[in-house]
Amino acid sequence: NSNNNKTHTTTPQHNPPHFLVVVLTWDRKTNARVSRQFQERKVSKTYLALVHGVPTETGVVNQPIKRSATSFPSYEVHPEGKPSETTWQVLKSAGNIALVEFQPKTGRTHQVRCDVGFEYSSPNRL
C-alpha cells in the first residue's frame, strides 16, 4: 500500500504475546562474530502469526515507521519515519484464518506489528 498520508499506531501492551529468542555465546570471539552478523544484517528473522482473514498469497509492505509523538511507547507508520520493508507468505489457511510467515527486511522496532496493522487497516488489505 503506497498511501503514506495515513498513520497507524501500535502499542505493545495491546498486541498479542510474542516469543523472545536469546542467543548466548561461550567466548568473546564467538560473541564478536555473532554480534557482527546481527549488525551486518546477515541474520534473517521470521515471524509466524495466525491472522483473522486470509490475505493474498504473498506480498510486501513498504511503509516508513517512527516512534509515535502522542502515544509513548508506540510506533507508527508515518511519512516522516525510517524506511521499512516486510514480506509475507500465507503458509496455510482454513476458513477465515491463515497462518502467515512474515520476514522483516529492515530492523525497525515493532516493524511487523506496524506494517501488518497498517495493511490490515487499509481498504485493500494485505
For residue 10, what pLDDT is reported? Answer: 47
Beta-carbon contacts of residue 68 (< 8 Å; ≥ 6 apart): 9, 74, 75, 76
* Residue 13: per-residue pLDDT: 41
Confidence (pLDDT) at 54: 82
Residue 61 has a pLDDT of 87
In the prediction, which pLDDT does 116 show?
75
What's this model's pTM, rounded to 2 decimal places? 0.67
pLDDT at position 1, please?
43
Radius of gyration of the chain (CA): 16
Residue ranges, the chain, pLDDT below 70:
1-21, 120-126
Cα atoms in the Cβ-side hemisphere of radius 13 Å centred on 112: 17
Mean pLDDT for all residues in the chain: 79
Q: What's 82's DSSP letter? A: B
Dihedral pair phi/psi, residue 113, rounded to 5°: -60, -45
C-alpha cell at 7: 498513520
